[in-house]
Amino acid sequence: MPPQHVLGVQNELGEGILWDPRHQCLWWTDIPRCRLHRYDWSGGSVEVFETPERLASFGLVAGSDRLIAAFASGVALYSPHTGAIDWLARPPEAGAGVRFNDGRVDRAGRFWTGTMVEDGRDSADAHLYSIGAGAGLRRHLSGLRISNSLCTSPDGSLLYFADSPTRTIRAFALAEPAGDLGADRIFATTPQGSDPDGATVDREGCLWSAHWGGGCVTRYTPGGSVERVLRVPASQPSCACLAGPALDVLCVTSARADLDAGTLRDEPHAGDVFFYQVGVQGLPEAEFRP
């Protein structure tokens, strides 16, 4: 199924896309270019904000126009329109080849975000964190390489997470009120050459996973079986969300990073954002509660 609409933004590494219902817009980041994009749903215009450092992921904030943001070096409350930034945590392990990556707000209003190892290193020096009201930055998992696929089940009882090079999405029990991670299980394993990247959960509890290198977004049932595979016109889809007034348009970011000239000729839409009518409704984006 071809996309119904393509935003020709040509991002180097588009990521972290989410729907903002209060302002009826889409937000996403182009990480290496230090740019945050805002797409006005009714007007069709794209506004671009320069960020103070690489912005990897972010979430909406309750009662505020600020974002809870995972920059390369730490987590902050960030105002795109003014550039104001209020750092909440900058752990010393984020640096020297390790940066923050994927992130998502859970149903209880905590922001989950993980780091990744870059610069071609093969070490497992990344971690998974959460930050919530009065809790500060908590480390939950260590020994990771690329944190990804963060999202929660509709009732908030499960946290989905992947260390991308393992090609495995895991489902963790999420215990309230503290937000501790409990027992985990293998939720899904992706094909060779198709790493699980950003993900979102719909109203039916199914998980939509962007498969980096696989050129597709796969919808998994709550039990982890494949319900459908949606091909996209780029080999590196990076993240997905369900957007629009009815939350029924799947929006997918992609990347052109690390693709050679021949591949870019074959993939003229690499780095664009794709819109699909999928006949499934999403859930309102959870908001961070500072």
Q: Percent of the chain at pLDDT above 90?
A: 93
Residue 280 has pLDDT above 90, yes or no: yes
Residue 1 has pLDDT above 90, yes or no: no
- Is there a contact between 118 and 139 (Cβ–Cβ < 8 Å)? no
- What's the rounded mean pLDDT across residues 260-268? 96
For 167: left if phi > 0, alpha if psi spans -120 to 50, otherwise beta; the answer is left
**What pLDDT is stored for residue 121 in this prediction?**
72
Query: CA 230, CA 251: separation in Å to the nearest integer?
Result: 12
Residue 13 has pLDDT above 90, yes or no: yes
Q: Report phi then psi at 199, rounded to 5.
A: -145, 160
- What's the rounded mean pLDDT across residues 21-35? 98
- What's the rounded mean pLDDT across residues 201-224? 98
- Is there a contact between 8 and 269 (Cβ–Cβ < 8 Å)? yes
- Is there a contact between 204 and 21 (Cβ–Cβ < 8 Å)? no
Query: CA 236, CA 143: separation in Å to the nearest integer?
Result: 25
What letter represents residue 156's amino acid? G
Q: Report phi then psi at 56, rounded to 5.
A: -95, -40
Query: CA 152, CA 59: separation in Å to the nearest integer?
Result: 13
Closest among 67, 79, 134 to 103, alpha carbons compared: 67
Residue 120 has pLDDT above 90, yes or no: no
Summarised one tens digit per residue, pLDDT across range 249-260 is 999 999 999 999
What is the total residue count of the chain?
Answer: 290
What letter represents residue 93's amino acid? E
**What pLDDT is stored for residue 204 in this prediction?**
98
Report the catalytic residues: 197
Query: CA 123, CA 32: separation in Å to the nearest integer?
Result: 21
- Is there a contact between 167 and 193 (Cβ–Cβ < 8 Å)? no
Q: Report phi then psi at 79, rounded to 5.
A: -105, 105
Rounded to 5 degrees, what angle do the CA atoms 74, 251, 126 make? Answer: 25
CATH code of 5-288, in short, is 2.120.10.30
Q: Helix or strand or coil: residue 266?
A: helix
**What pLDDT is stored for residue 106 in this prediction?**
98
What's the order of all strands across the beta sheet hosting 195-201? Answer: 195-201, 207-212, 216-220, 226-231
Summarised one tens digit per residue, pLDDT across range 121-147 is 778 999 999 999 777 999 999 999 999
